[in-house]
Structure 1
Amino acid sequence: MPGASILFAAAIWAHAALAVPVARSAYAVKETHYVPRRWTLKGRAPKHQMLALQIGVKQGDFDALERNLYEISDPDHARYGQHLSHDEVNTLVKPTDEALDAVHEWLLSNGIGEFDYSQAKDWISVKISVEKAEELLATEYSVYVHQDGTEHSRTTEWSLPRHLHDHIDTIQPTTSFMRARTNDVGGERQLKKRDGPWPPADYQPPTDPAIARACSINGTTPECFKTLYKTKGYKQKVAGKNQIGFNNYLAEVPIRPDAALFLQKYEPSAVKGAYEYKFISIDGGPYHDGPSTPTELANGTDKEANLDVQTILGMTYPMPVTAYTTGGEPPQIPDEAAGDPPGNEPYLAWVTYALSQKKPPQVISTSYGDDEQTVPIAYAKRVCSSFAQLGARGVTLLFSSGDHGVGNAAGNDASACISNDGKNTTKFLPSFPASCPYVTTVGATQNFQPETAAYRPADSLGPDGALHAYYASGSGFSDYFPRPSYQDQAVKSYLKKIGSLHKGLYNTHGRGYPDIAAQGLYFQYFWNATNAVISGTSASTPLTAGILALVNDALISSGKPTLGFLNPWLYKKGYKGFTDILSGGNGGCNTTGFPLTEGWDPVTGFGTPIFPEIVKLAGGKC
């Protein structure tokens, strides 16, 4: 399938020519951002390197969009479930003519006459050289190298004419050093002959015979999840109307033959699903239908994509599934002759495409994230506001919470938990987009009866006889986004319980996450035609998405609206349909992390789903 464009060409010449020219004003700094740790300056960026600039024009009435979002997501409001249409959302966020005219005049006066709009016209895309971008933004681009070898052309400061400061929220790539990464910890440090205790000494076998038969610490399967979360036996009624989707970044591609092998072994009735799911390539995302390529195998890619598609198909077949694969890494190309540059940071590329669709899937899972502090706050807020637009249209967006506890960095190393404020302050590191208040963030559990928070020390022996990496369900409080009203009571109650623990290491006024959790340890999956196990909130998130998609099936067949943006309902009444997790570990930054408590906590949220209870609380029938 050819790549799907995320933007559509806008014929603006007549409009711009008729616009009243805005008097040119002096330039002033619009944004500065420190270079994050682990990035090193290499040298000036090549002048002829091409950039795909994304200009975030100030939205017309986001406050009204947010008000609508909360009203239609509040189970006690008269408008609950009355999701907005594609056109209604675009009308609310479309920039004013004044803003668009001012930006057009600025671009045209700088000799830039070709640019594209998003459908709501709140993003403008411009393809220009580094040399031209430096002139346009009164800045200098340099090449920065991450310790893993990733290179980006970025700047630490850029400017705009003063009269545009109120009309433009953000422009990227400029100061963004984000590197979307998978939230899975499947890679073994080394293989060895098993010589330690297995299962672990603290493992408690299930006492429920059905769970004991279905679930094994040696590797979980769809049969286990269906039994544990009580979807087993549910017959879908409106699979054609109800859909689910999941995102892939970093050149990840779900491999159909691997999915078929997984389903043949663990869910034979769903084997056809391996070849029936829809594949959409966005912004140059890779696509193929056969086995992994030699390059993919050598790089170990496609493990995350395989985990997602196999988990979702195992839970939801015959529900239609859409796999999105989005390019955008890196957001520059070598020279002018290289053709169209790939898009910007991948979350924006994907959400812009999703917003252009009349009927996106009702539940969409994303198992990627990055340090919040590597993302400029203005850009993070605009991407987050785009997630709100999807929520207002009735889409449930799930993001994984991360796999390194409060640190969002590999291992339990305090040296990695350093602020990006120029002062090198030791602190907990929240993750983005997990910290966005308009998405539902998913943590991880392990064991079965009882389930506990997912935690595994470094070099722990696994069921495959390998030593596995450190792993703790991601958790934290945003430094960018204030605590939303829907979770005010739950978070205040938790903070009162823990008192001064870790005082000064996190923002007590920030949006807390995760919101809910699900199994996230030792999932059975296939990669390169080989059965193995993999762990992470990358596993918890597609699993939760599958369960919530089944809830939507029950709601639609009962004549009820789909769940949509989940959180206001979840924090007001939906939490009663989840099993509270009361034990297990956390960690990160060489600390004990956040403790689990009764009720919501920033490790497993409100806990794990109980399918029939969620359906009942949402007004449907199983």
Structure 2
Amino acid sequence: MLGVSFLLTVAAAAQVILATPVARSTYSVKETHHVPRGWTQKGRAPKSQMLAFQIGVKQGDFAELERQLYEVSDPSHPRYGQHLSHEQVNEIVKPKDEALDLVHEWLLSNGVNAFDYSPSKDWINIKISIEDAERLLDTEYSTYVHVDGTEAPRTTKWSLPLHLHEHIDTIQPTTSFMRIKKNAVDYVLSDNKVYIPADYKPPTDQTLARVCTINGTTPECFKTLYKTLGYKPKALSKNKIAFNNFLGEVPIRPDAKLFLEKYEPSAVSGAQEFKFISIDGGPQQDGNLTADQLAEGTSREANLDVQTILGMTYPMSVIAYTTGGEPPQIPDAATGDPPGNEPYLAWVTYVLKQEDLPQVVSTSYGDDEQTVPIAFAKRVCSDFAQLGARGVSLLFSSGDGGAGDIAGNHAELCISNDGKNTTKFLASFPASCPYVTTVGATQGFQPEVAAYRPANSLGPDGKLHGYYASGSGFSEYFSRPKYQDSAVQGYLEKIGSLHKGLYNTAGRGYPDISAQGLYFEYFWNATNGIISGTSASAPLMSSVIALVNDDLISWGKSPLGFLNPWLYQKGYKGFTDILGGGNGGCNTTGFPVTKDWDAVTGFGTPIFPEIVKLAK
């Protein structure tokens, strides 16, 4: 939670309200949400347990924010690149006075008199016991246990006074069972045997062949493949790239130093220069991994991200956001800390308060869309839109389970959380949010193809390993945005009735673009290894976009900001169309790779010089 502030003026006004009671509406159910697969009810939650409540007050005019977001992100619009300021965004989305007054009255009349706000006051944060929360929301909390042993206090239904339904969009933690996961696989040593696809052929181009091998890719390979080799960042005082760390992940400086000494010696000092920003008690660490971290395998993801970004962008400024909490989590009884919420909201609430923002943020985490109540997902997504309006490019990894199945190629897991056990390709969130750019994975070099490893393939340690494919899908929550109407409709016409009924043909399709995602060289615990997944693709693609921004800013131009309108209108011409590779998911053939945009690789992989030309 952020620091708590006492609203003395509102509290004083409440004395008048409470002294003269006003008739208000009765309670009625605001939201219900089925318990997702993998969770079981253990019993009533302890009444004294504390919760960190986040109350989403209806935004003043999100439609206006969206309109302006698309104007400043549309290369054919006169306002293209004229990103909004911190104050302009807050003014547009701040709730109406009536909404805030009524919510305050409700909270104060229930004994809640300490609040903290988001920058535009569209989120109100409070700390509250389960006993008080049950009274406030006319609900009952139970302790739910996940198959991995995690416990969390949640409810399946909560209510509000009827007159507040139109003024409050969502309150969490209530019905959200989201458990974000890192989109990375293959934590192995690079001298072990790797699975090589049967149809893989080494590059015929001698320059590529010299630096790129499927046994372990490096920054030199990426720079050569995507043609950033030789580019030197110039806008060092103005251009920044950042990446997110959740679940206790923290990039380890000594490992980054070892990686750069071996694979990008000119960037070695970057291992000490990148900046930590801690949010909600997120970890910061300058030394080696601790014994607990080693036992838990912590920081493989964080090391992959920082090493990839430094290897590609040095000496650009790099920020490592570390957000505390592992949602859902058990409170620390010794400190009295309440269970954390989904960290995307904690992160975006913090970042939206800042005047100075990085132009690109990479995030390599996600979970089943259906584990997040739709109202909460839409509010978090709308907060991402605020960052886009301010000129920030948000890139998220698409997942590693192919067609809507981030848990692996198991049909029995592809069950919709609709209470009817409907078989579905499960979309991933935040990858499905229309205000972010979602990145899929490729492998091979000449040509690149969609990343795909069939189930029971011989893995890096000489054992049979599981299925891995570039995550893809269509949202059940978010309708297809106009910017991708033509591309996605063309794709749907190509695939016809394939997998009819397993996905939402009217939903936002993803990924938007792709980058390498197989066998990245990296260091963890002072040991050279390889790691795969769209967790690798996201920071790699983010690095290329950050270099494009560097060139634009050095010419006095605006950064790309929210990429998708530009990407679908003209930017796609600067990407290599991927025409091969597999997908699968839910024990199906998955989505096919086709010419032009497809729901496996999007528009394909970057060609840096071409993107720069198209962006100017």
Residues 581 and 297 from structure 1, CA distance in 2 versus in 1: closer, same or farther, beyond 3 angstroms? same
Change in Cα spacing, 1:570 to 1:118, as seen in structure 2 (3 Å) is same
Equivalent position SS for 1:75: coil
CA distance in 2, matches of 1:334, 1:384: 27
Q: Counterparts of 1:560-579 in structure 2 under 5 Å?
A: 560-579=557-576
Q: Quick one: distance in 2 between partners of 1:42 and 1:523? A: 41
| Number of the residue aligned with 2:29 | 29
Q: Which letter does structure 2 place at the counterpart of 1:113?
A: N
- 1:63 matched to 2:76? The reply is no
CA 134–47 in structure 1, closer or farther in 2 if over 3 Å, else same: same
Is contact 1:16–1:105 with CA below 8 Å preserved after alignment?
no
SS in 2 for 1:405: strand
Query: Where does residue 149 of structure 1 map in the other structure?
Result: 149
CA distance in 2, matches of 1:193, 1:281: 36
Q: Distance in 2 between matches of 1:467 and 1:520?
A: 20
Q: In structure 2, what is the Cα distance between the partners aligned to 1:226 and 1:330?
A: 36
In the alignment, what sits opposite 2:8? 13
Q: Which residue of 2 aligns with 1:116?
A: 116
Q: Say if 1:141 and 1:153, in contact at 8 Å, map to a contact too.
A: yes
Deviation at residue 609 of structure 1 after TM alignment: 0.4
For the structure 1 residues 477 and 208, does the alpha-carbon distance in structure 2 shift closer, same or farther, using more than 3 Å as the test?
Answer: same
Matched residue, 1:580: 577
Q: Which residue matches 1:228?
A: 225
Q: How does 1:368-379 map to 2 (within 5 A)?
A: 368-379=365-376
8 Å CA contact 2:190, 2:529 repeated in 1? no
Take 2:551 and 2:333, find their aligned partners in 1: how far apart are those partners?
Answer: 52
Instruction: Spell out the pairing of 1:138-217 with structure 2 (5 A cutoff).
Output: 138-187=138-187, 199-217=196-214
Q: Is this contact kept in 2: 1:51–1:333, CA < 8 A?
A: no
Q: Which residue of 2 aligns with 1:414?
A: 411
Q: Which amino acid aligns with 1:208?
A: D
Q: Which residue of 2 aligns with 1:617?
A: 614
Distance 1:402 1:50, change over 3 A: same
For each residue in 1:224-253, what CA deviation from the matched residue of structure 2 results, as whole angstroms up to 9, or x when unmatched?
000000000011111221000000111111
- Structure 1 residue aligned with 2:99: 99
Quote the offset at 1:58 in angstroms.
Answer: 0.4
The alpha-carbon deviation at position 280 of structure 1 amounts to: 1.1
State the 1:161 CA deviation: 0.4
Residue 382 of structure 2 aligns to a residue in which SS?
helix
- The aligned counterpart of 1:486 is 483
5+ long unaligned stretches in structure 1: 1-5
Q: Hey, what's the Cα distance between the residues in 1 that align with 2:463 and 2:190?
A: 5
Q: Whole-Å Cα distance in 2 between the matches of residues 311 and 48 of structure 1?
A: 45
State the match for 2:356 in structure 1.
Answer: 359
Q: Distance in 2 between matches of 1:186 and 1:200?
A: 15
Displacement of 1:171 in angstroms is 0.1
Work out whether 1:243 is the aligned partner of 2:243.
Answer: no
* Superposition pairs of residues 267-416 of structure 1, within 5 angstroms: 267-330=264-327, 334=331, 338-341=335-338, 343-416=340-413
> Relative to structure 2, which stretch is displaced further, 14-23 or 79-88?
14-23
Q: Check conservation: 2:331, 2:338, Cα contact below 8 A.
A: no
* Worse-matched range after superposition: 16-25 or 149-158: 16-25
TM-score (normalised: structure 1): 0.96
Distance 1:331 1:602 in 2: 31
Query: How far does residue 187 in structure 1 lie from its aligned partner after superposition?
Result: 3.8
- What SS does the corresponding residue of 2:128 show, helix, strand or coil? strand
* Matching residue's letter, 1:259: A
Q: Give the residue type in structure 1 aligned to 2:59.
A: Q
CA deviations 1:138-171 (Å, max 9, x no partner) are: 0000111111111111000000000100010000
Question: 1:467 and 1:364 mapped to 2: Cα distance?
Answer: 35
Paired AA for residue 411 in structure 1:
G
Distance 1:447 1:74, change over 3 A: same
Q: Structure 2 CA distance, aligned partners of 1:616 and 1:193?
A: 41
The one-letter code sitting in structure 2 at the alignment partner of 1:12 is: L
Distance 1:198 1:111, change over 3 A: closer
Q: CA deviation at 1:408?
A: 2.6
Structure 2 residue 61 is matched with structure 1 residue 38:
no
Residue type matched to 1:302 in 2?
S
Alignment of 1:82-97 (within 5 A): 82-97=82-97
Hey, what does 1:3 align to over in structure 2?
none
When the two chains are superposed, the root-mean-square deviation of aligned CA atoms in Å is 1.7
- The Cα shift of 1:328 comes to 2.9
